[in-house]
Structures are given as C-alpha cells and as structure tokens.
A and B are shown apart, each in its own frame.
Chain A
Amino acid sequence: MPQTLSTREANLFRTVIRHYEEKQYKRGLKAAEQILKKNPRHGDTMSMKALIMNSQGKTEEAFALAKEALTIDMKSHICWHVYGILYRQHKNFDEAIKAYKFALKLEPESQQIQRDLAVLQVQIRDYQGYVQSRFAMLKAKPHLRQNWTALAIAYQLEGSLEQAENILTTYEKSMTNVPLKTDQEHSEALLYKNTIIAERGDIQRALEHLDSDCKNCLDRLAVMEMRARYLGQLNRKEEAAKAWRALLDRNPEHPEYYEGLIGALEIDEKDEAALKAIYDEYAAKYPRSDAAKRLPLNFLTGDSFKAAAKSYLTNMLDRGVPSVFANLKHLYSDVAKKEAVLALAEEYLKEHKGSEQANGDSSKGVGAALYFLAQHYNYHLSRDLAKAMEYVEQAIELDPKNVDFHMTKARIFKHQGDTAKASEAMDHARSLDTKDRYINSKAAKYQLRNNENEKALETMGLFTRAETVGGPLADLTDMQCMWFLTEDGEAWQRRGNTGLALKRFTTINNIFDIWQEDQFDFHSFSLRKGQIRAYVDMIRWEDSIREHPFYFRAALDAVKLYLDMFEKQQAAANGTNGTGEATNGDDAAEKKKAAKKARKEAQKAEREAAEKTAKQDPNKATAKKDEEPKKKDDDPNGLKLAATTDPLGDAMKFLNNILQFSPKNIEGQIAGFDVYMRRKKYLLALRCLNAAQALNPEHPRVKEQFAELQKAVESLDDAQSAKVKEVLKAKFSS
C-alpha cells in the first residue's frame, strides 16, 4: 500500500518539485531523502528522486528507482508521469507514450500530462492519437483559438481535410469580436484554412475564400501567389495574367512567375519570338534582372539563340561576373548551344585582345573571357584539360593575384587526377585572400581530397571559434558542418583508418537524429507563434529528412565500408591456406599499420588543437564559462566502431534508412543487394535487385548481381531459395 504523508512532509514534497523545476538538484535530493527517511516506500517521492537523479546524469539508477516506485504505487499518476518523462528524455517515445497514457488514465484532468502526451504523439506521427489528445485539450479549454487550430492541424495531418476545415470554420463562427487587422494569429489561420480548401481540390472555392476572407492577410506575397496559381488552374487567363504580372513587378527574378504569365497568355511554347517578347519586356522594365535576360536562352534556338547568348555573354564578361559560366553550363546538354557559346566566348576574346588595361580590373573583359574559356574546357561536357590550363595560365599572367583564377587552376588539376597539385594550388588561392572563408573552405576540401586530414583541419581552424572546447573538430561537429565531416570520413577511409571514417559517418547520422529531434519544441512553439503553414511545411519536410543527399552520401559510404570490413574478416578467417589469402593478410597487416599511424597522427593533431585552444586569450575563453560541460566522447577515434564483430549488422542502421528514404537511388539498392547477399537474405536481395533493375536495367552491376543471386540459390532448396528461384525463372523466361 502506498504510504500517505503527514502535512509537514507533504509540504516538503512540494518543495522537492519546486527544487526540481528550479534545477536545484542537490536541495531537491536532500528534501526527498528527508521524506524517504520516515516513509521509505513513498512512491511519488521515490519517483521525484529518480527524476532528479536523471537530471544529474545518473540514468540507470534513475530508471531502476522509477521502476521500483511504480511497483510500490501502481496507482500514482506521478509515478507514471515520471516514468514517461524519463523515457521521453532518452528518446524512447513509444515507451514514453505508454507511460503517459497510464498517467492520464489515473489523472484524466491533468493538462500537463495531456499536453506532453500530445507532443509525443505528433513527434512520432501517431496522428490518430494526436487527434484524440487535441480533441480532449480543446474540450478542456475551448476559449483558446490555439486549441482549435491545433485540432485542425491534427486532422489535416491525419488526412481528414474536411474535419480540419470544419473545425476552423466552427471557431470563426464563434468569434464575437472582429480581430484587428494586425492580428498575426488570425491572419495566418485564415490563410491556413485556405490551403486546406485548396488541398481538398476545390480550387474554385479556395479562390472565392481567398478573395472574400484573405484580402487583408498580412502575408501579402502568399495571397498574391495563391491567387495567381488558383486563377491559372481555373483557366481564368486574363485575371491570371494580371496576377502574374503583379508578382513579376515585385520580384522579376522568380522563374515561376514568368512561366505562369506565359501559360496565362496562352503563348504557343514553340513560338520563340512571342516568348522572347515577354522576357524582353521585363528585361527592359527591370534592367538589372538576370532572369529576364537568361531564361530565354533555355528555349531559343539557332540564330536567335546566338544573338541572345551574345548579348548576355558580352554584358556579363564586360562586367566581370564570375558566375557567368555557372549560369550557362546547363545549356551544354544541347551540343549546338555548347558550340555556339564557345564560339561567342572566343570571338569576344579576339575582339578584346590587346585592350587589357595594366591597372584596370582584370576580372573584366579579357580576363573574364579567359576565365570563362578555362572553365569551359574544364567542364565535363566540353573537357580539354590542356586547353583549360592554357587559358587559366593566361588569365593568371594577366592578374597573378586573382583568387578565382587560381581556384579554377586547382579544379583543373583535380580533373587531371593530380590531387596533390590541386591541393597545393587551392591553398595558394586561399593565401591570396585569407579573410574569405569560402576560399578557405575550398582549400580544406582539396586537402581532404588529397588525404591531408590533419592539414585540412588546421586550415578549417583558421575560421572556427577559437574558444570551443575540443578545437576545430568539435566546433565543426557542433555547427553540423556536414560537408567537412563527410569529406574527412572519406579521406580517412582512403587512408585505411576505418575507425575515424566510421566515426565521421556515424556523426552525420547522429546529426540527422538531432535534426529530427529539433522539431520537438516547435509542436507547441508554432501554435503560440501562429505561423501554421510554415509549421506544416516543416513537418512534411522532416518526414523525409533522411532522403537528403547529405545523409545518403555518408550512409552509403558507411555501408560500403562495413561491407569491406566483412570481406576482410572473412578473408582473415580463411587466411590460413593459399597464397592469395597470404597476400591479403600482408595487405591487412599493412593497412593495420597505416591505420595505427593515422590514429597516432590524429591524436597528435587533436593534442595540438587542444593545446592551441588552451593558449587562446584567456578573456575569450572565460566569456563562455556558463556553457554546460560537454559530455565526454568515449570513442573519439571510432576504435569501438571499428572493432565490431558484426559489420553487416551495423551496416543495417544506415542501409535501412537508405532503402526507406532514397529507394530511387540505384547505388543504394546495389549496396543493399550486397549486404543482403552476405547475410544470406536472398528474398531481400532480390527485392533490391528488382528495384535497381527498374531504375536502370542497363546498369553493369545489375546483370552481375542477377548471376550472383542465381548462383547462390542454385544449390539450396529451403523455402526462401525456392521462392527466389521461382521468381528468377519467371523473370528470365519472359
């Protein structure tokens, strides 16, 4: 039976809660122990003690104590609530939800429990549960608009658009005062409702609602854009054209507006002259608009292309705009355009040759043309690296201190496969403008491509925050610098340092975990702020966050590395017979040596970085004193990761995400096949293979993998293999 507390101790219990809330953990603990001295089996106090211990980092003891408290007092909502909080803090949301539900059953009126539960439900996308919770919360406090909006969001996410709209309408009808025009929440709620109407597919009604209810909404751009889109969809051409024009007057750099206008004017997409006239109109109206001048190059052909390209290119080269090649290279998929652009650039150069001013801006005119041609011959669709080098050398001769020219020279070396020279050249470019982080980042990247991890980190350290504990790497990790972590990992992988490579790829995975958790606070924050459309956008983006190329690249790297590790382990296990294995053994020993050396170098670099940090201006270091001490990484060099005995099992953590979020990426399917084959999961391997074949039947690995699979199941006669054989047979007979 649960113990009951005397008045004095009940008061003491309240102070425990207060101390916890104020993060006065020591005092809280002391008070809790005072109660437990007299009432050693008081569940609520035990739970609170567990909660405080958890905040002090004693996770295991906290869970044990909370569990014990529950066995003593199963009927206490506090015990269940604490249990839920513990799970929530350790990101086990499913268990947390279960605990919260028990707590709520015991204390149905608790708004705090209800609110916490709702947030967990939307975080794990239990939309049905979320609808129920938000419904209960609305019932408890129907006077708050937030609660109505929240229920509508829950319905929308669940897919019940009609209910979502109805809820919003019900609230609107209940409003007694007309909200101020400056009321953000009201303005956003109206626009949010409008997006729901459109999402239901009723564009006509969405337009009517927009015109009647959203005229004064504060997000004027959104109103204008929605209106233009609706009018376009409804084929109300004339009004649509007017709406698109109004948008172009606001922002003549947004291609969608031009496309919308062209659609509304019903211009035949083959009528180049008529299309061009539209763009020309805006190029004349807004002379500084790039889009109006550049977009026509996409559809123009023949002589009109040449004329337009000439005028564009001349203008850009005269002004020395460094991005002109980047702005045109997409045209190169069309061979005629590629040749025309080259001819124009050469012509420009010829005409301007000799007009270089000694003291003028060398990035303009001749310098710009040489730079353009160097990039042209460096691009994969028009590559001639000798010519590229020739042009870039001429450009450098003109201006030996131009960062962009040297940067391109480094790129040419890279394409020649000379990573050492590329790294050197990029570092030279960096030295010409040491205040620019962009060129600094590029220099570090090229150092990594040349396997100079230590040097790269030093380069990056020129711009990272000096006072960050743990040096540049810690700062780059904190700041979620994905590109560096990926490139660093890949370089370690090439150098044979499996530990550090896995460490970096795992860090990327962890950062994606953080990005997913980042939404947590916004489930309540956004309701307070009222920016509902942005919130829903965020939710939808977060749903597929791991499809991002940042994730895919690191995950695929990791899977391939684990596959390698598996192969090596197999080879080592069979390594006693045959000369082939013997050399493999040597190879492995060699690699081990290299890894050891790399590890030592990395430790040295880390030590040096730490020393450097220690030597920083003490004033700067103390400025951040209030920062919480960072949790110590117990495997900074990834040695534990590299010591795995089950590399294929570890690979699954990455592979599952690849196959779930980027199924259309053939490289992922191919890697999936390789993993499943080695795990002898032939049906799953077949599934990857089928997916790969559907994506690109011509891919060289696809054929190989079919043969591999066939061979593997040939001699087997278990149920799985039989099924695979059957499918394969059907595939090849058809």
Chain B
Amino acid sequence: MDIRVLRPSDIPLIQHANIENLPENYFLKYYLYHALSWPQLSYVAVDVSRPAKSAYDYPKIVGYVLAKMEEEPTDGVQHGHITSLSVMRTHRRLGIAEKLMRQSQQAMVETFGAHYVSLHVRVSNAAAIHLYRDTLGFKTEKTEAKYYADGEDAFCMKLDLGPIREALQNELLEQDGEKKDKDSSSKKKQIEDGGKGGGSEGVDEGEAVGDVGRDPEAADSKKEDKTVKVKVGRGLGVGELVERDESKH
C-alpha cells in the first residue's frame, strides 16, 4: 500500500472506488474540479502489490479522500471540507482512512491556512462516526435533517486544526531562528495569517510534524475503520465551475 497525493490520472479509478463503495457519486469533472482547485488536499491509497496487467496499467486505488476548501465560508473562517472518503472493504483495518485524513488535514493548514475541517456523515454510519469522533477527534456540531437524498439525517462534524497550526508555527519559528543570520526575512507574516492562535508561546515540543499531526492519544485507541461513508450531496453542476451549495437536493 502506498499513500500519496492524488494525481489527475488517478481519477477514473477514484471514481470507480467511489461508485463501488458509496451511494453518493460524482461525475469525473467534479473530481477534476477538486484536483485542479486544491491539488494538495486529496490523497489516495494505492495497492502497490498488484502485478501490472498490461503496458497501460493504472495504479489500483483502494482508498481515497477527496477534500476541498470552503470557497465562501459562511462564518468567514478559512476551513477545509471532506467531500468524500472511502476505503475498499477488502482493505479495512489497516488504518488507511485515518492516514488519508491526517495527510489532508496537514495540507489544509500548510497550504490554505485552514482553521478547521468539516464533514457530513450519515447518522447510521457507526464505523465512520467512530473514526471521526474517537480516532480523529471530530466533534458533532449539529444534525442536518434529511441531508441525504434518501432522507437520512447527517451529523455535521468539525475538527479544530489548532494543534496542527501551532506545530507548524513552532516549526517555522525554529527554522527562522536557525536562519536568523543568513536570512533576515521574518516568517511572522505567514504564521500570523488568519489571526487565530497566532501566538508563538508554545515551546518546541520536538517532532512537530512527525507522522503528520498525529494525536498521541488517538494513536492508542483501537482502530476499526470500515468503509467510511461521507455524503456531501451530489456534485452535479460543475458546469460553471463555481462552488455551489451542495446540501441542496
């Protein structure tokens, strides 16, 4: 298994994994829209142990996270959103979903200065809720009635990315310290972007980016990530490539 950032050439097999696993599907253009707007945020898990079948073999995608930034956040705070996440039934219990999510969250902070990440999940999807809440630390914000096309409600969940932001700030400050003599340009600007939690009071805790923003407590909790279902409506019109309110059906 190989976990890496998504490439456009992965998209047909990401779409395949999605429609094989989940009831919420999108056409290719919607994946392209993610890949070309926020190429840093979407990750795939590839089955590398599969022997190539022809000269034109494409890596088999066994899991993916499709993520984006909210383009016009209603609360005015920069944040990411998980459009879809799934792992093939045959590749469960390897912690793939969690690993994909952590990579994506790291990039949301680094590249787009996200403060938090949000997602929707079916209220009946116990396995996914377990992953988000117990493993990754998401909190349930509210319940959205009849969010899904079939009438099921969704939990709207959020994860504060503050810890990743702080770790990143510390790391940048540390780098700055090392370079002070050589490089006088301060990184303050970048660090303080977005305002929230811009302080640098945190002492260096070492290994700031180790295994990407891992929550040490969560790491010990028992993993049982089954196919994780995330519903964000169907990305119908990308026609104009303008972000739309996906929660409307």
Contact = CB atoms under 8 A, between A and B. Distances in A.
A249 B211 contact: yes
Given A249-B210, A253-B99, A538-B32, 11 more contacts: A181-B187, A320-B93, A321-B92, A323-B94, A438-B89, A478-B27, A481-B19, A514-B27, A521-B240, A537-B9, A549-B56
25 contacts: A182-B190, A182-B193, A220-B111, A221-B5, A221-B40, A250-B209, A251-B3, A253-B1, A288-B223, A294-B49, A319-B93, A323-B62, A323-B91, A326-B50, A436-B227, A441-B19, A479-B25, A483-B20, A529-B37, A534-B35, A535-B36, A537-B9, A548-B58, A550-B12, A664-B54
A333 B56 contact: no
B227 to A, nearest CB: 6
A457 to B, nearest CB: 15
B143 interface: no
Nearest to A253: B3
B8 A534 contact: yes
Which of A328, A519, A541 is the most central at the interface, judged by chain B CB atoms within 10 Å of its CB?
A541
Kindly list the 6 A-B residue pairs having the minimum CB-CB distance in the complex, ordered from nearest.
A534-B39, A664-B55, A330-B49, A253-B3, A181-B190, A438-B89
Contacts of B244: none
Interface stretch (B102-110, B155-163, B195-203): B102-110
Interface in B25-68: 25-29, 32, 35-40, 45, 47-51, 53-58, 62
A398 interface: no
Q: Which of B49, B106, B151 is packed against the most chain A CB atoms within 10 Å? A: B49
A404 B226 CA distance: 13
Contacts of B151: 617, 620
A456 to B, nearest CB: 14
A694 to B, nearest CB: 12
B137 interface: no
A531 B37 contact: yes
Nearest to B15: A480
Given A221-B5, A328-B49, A529-B36, A438 B227 contact: yes
A262 to B, nearest CB: 16
Interface string A494-534: 00000000000000000000110011011001100101011
Contact residues on B (Cβ < 8 Å of other chain), bracket: 35 or more
Contacts of B149: 465-467, 620
B93 A321 contact: yes
Contacts of B53: 549
Nearest to A627: B236
A218 interface: yes
Interface in A249-303: 249-256, 286, 288, 290-291, 294
A288 B219 contact: yes
A66 B34 CA distance: 38
Interface in A372-414: 403-404
A219 interface: yes
A198 interface: no
B148 to A, nearest CB: 10
A664 B56 CA distance: 8
Interface string A427-467: 00000000111110100000000000000000000011111
B12 A548 contact: yes
Given A181-B190, A541-B9, A525 B36 contact: yes
Given A322-B90, A483-B16, A218 B49 contact: no
Contact of A466 (B8, B93, B150, B193): B150
A579 B249 CA distance: 62
B8 A327 contact: no
Contacts of A323: 62, 90-94
| Candidate in A322, A466, A534 with the most chain B CB atoms within 10 angstroms | A534
Contacts of A613: none
B56 A552 contact: yes
A465 B37 CA distance: 27
A538 B35 contact: yes
A542 B58 CA distance: 14
Interface in A591-649: 617, 620, 623-624
B177 interface: no
B7 A219 contact: no
A255 B25 CA distance: 30
Contacts of B39: 531, 533-534
A407 B106 CA distance: 37
A253 B2 contact: yes
B80 interface: no
A466 B189 CA distance: 51
Contacts of B47: 326
Nearest to A224: B209
B88 interface: yes
A133 interface: no
A264 B223 CA distance: 35
B149 to A, nearest CB: 6
A662 B5 contact: no
Contacts of B234: 465
B235 to A, nearest CB: 11
A291 B25 contact: no
A463 B22 CA distance: 8
Nearest to B55: A664
Contact of A518 (B32, B92, B103, B207): B32
A135 B21 CA distance: 47
Given A327-B49, A329-B49, A538-B35, A441 B20 contact: yes
Contact of B211 (A184, A222, A286, A439): A286
B56 A547 contact: yes
A180 interface: yes
B180 interface: no
